[in-house]
């Protein structure tokens, strides 16, 4: 897995805010666009791209993009 | 189905006239309701709308649900409408700002449970505004586009995909 690619894929789930400054340390829930639909978009993207099923708890306990990347990495069999 | 129903950590019940102020707050919140039909900021009109809705509810043409958290604080609403012999529509979903991230999933699961019990054999058809990109992505995962116009895409979902969606959502919460 490649963190830069992951950041870009996660950023694609946001439609309204500027994500050009997203890094691994970005607090991905701390913005005005964050909602259940963003969470679901991220879960669907991860399911589709990495064949990993994130849960609500995975999202709840993650703060930064690195946090969520680490969870996906640990669950990934690729 | 007897109300209130406790599922997925929420209490679901049918909307009453006394919920008018809560619903009006949600529907006149520009951020929340930007993809819904606009609503006049008029409490009396909202009360009257609910009064008329209750007659549609009585004839099983429409169900407007309010969901509450564990402390019985109202969290949001969702509606099933245009119920006829073969189809029904789901929509009007709104939740209070700052609510749990997965309220939409929980309420969607409840809608599936309710439909399986009370609307057996009917197919869900619904529309999503083209500008509502995230909701579109969500529905495109499970549902089929059956039409479009300038404003909306129109979807339906068959039984097999409805089950796939239900299992996917249940695996998340």
Task: Read off the pLDDT of residues B25-37 as tens digits, 9 standing for 90 and up.
Answer: 999 987 777 777 7
Could you tell me the pLDDT band of residue B98, with boundaries at 50, 70 and 90? confident
User: Is the Cβ–Cβ distance between B146 and B155 less than 8 Å?
Assistant: yes
Domain ranges of chain B: 5-172
Among the CATH numbers 3.40.630.30, 3.30.420.40, 2.60.120.260, 3.40.50.300, which is that of B5-172? 3.40.630.30
Distance CA B38, CA A41 (A): 26
CB nearest to B102's CB, from A34, A41, A56:
A56
Nearest CA in chain A to B167: A53
pLDDT score recorded for residue A29: 94
Within 8 A of A36 by CB-CB distance, chain B residues are 95, 100-105
Compute the nearest-CA separation of B75 from chain A (Å).
13
> Is the confidence metric ipTM above 0.90 for this complex?
no
Distance CA B122, CA B128 (A): 19
- Pairing status of strand B87-95 against strand B5-7: unpaired
Task: Read off the pLDDT of residues B60-93 as tens digits, 9 standing for 90 and up.
Answer: 999 999 999 999 999 999 999 999 999 999 988 8
Task: Read off the pLDDT of residues B31-54 as tens digits, 9 standing for 90 and up.
Answer: 777 777 788 889 999 999 999 999
Does the pLDDT at position B7 exceed 80?
yes
Regions of chain A short of the pLDDT cut 50 = none
Within 8 A of B67 by CB-CB distance, chain A residues are none
Domains and CATH numbers, chain A: 3-13+24-75 (1.10.1200)
Percent pLDDT > 70 in chain B is 100
């Amino acid at each position: 897995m490649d963190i830069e690619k992951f950041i870009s894929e996660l950023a694609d789930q946001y439609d309204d805010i500027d994500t050009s400054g997203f890094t691994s340390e970005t607090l991905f829930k701390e913005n005005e666009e964050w909602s259940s639909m963003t969470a679901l978009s991220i879960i669907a993207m991860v399911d589709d791209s990495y064949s990993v099923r994130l849960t609500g708890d995975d999202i709840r306990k993650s703060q930064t993009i690195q946090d969520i990347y680490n969870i996906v990495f640990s669950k990934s069999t690729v | 189905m007897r109300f209130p129903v406790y599922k997925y950590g929420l209490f679901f019940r049918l909307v009453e006239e006394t919920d008018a102020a809560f619903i009006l707050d949600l529907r006149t919140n520009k951020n929340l309701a930007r993809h819904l039909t606009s609503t006049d900021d008029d409490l009396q009109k909202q009360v009257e709308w609910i009064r008329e809705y209750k007659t549609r509810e009585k004839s099983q043409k429409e169900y407007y649900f309010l969901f509450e958290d564990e402390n019985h604080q109202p969290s949001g609403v969702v509606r099933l409408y245009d119920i006829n012999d073969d189809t029904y529509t789901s929509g009007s979903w709104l939740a209070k700002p700052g609510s749990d991230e997965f309220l939409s999933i929980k309420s969607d699961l409840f809608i599936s449970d309710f439909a399986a019990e009370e609307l057996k054999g009917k197919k869900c058809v619904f529309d999503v505004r083209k500008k509502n990109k995230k909701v579109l992505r969500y529905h495109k995962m499970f549902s089929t586009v059956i039409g479009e116009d300038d404003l909306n895409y129109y979807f339906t979902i068959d039984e097999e995909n409805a089950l796939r969606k239900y299992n996917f959502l249940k695996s998340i919460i």
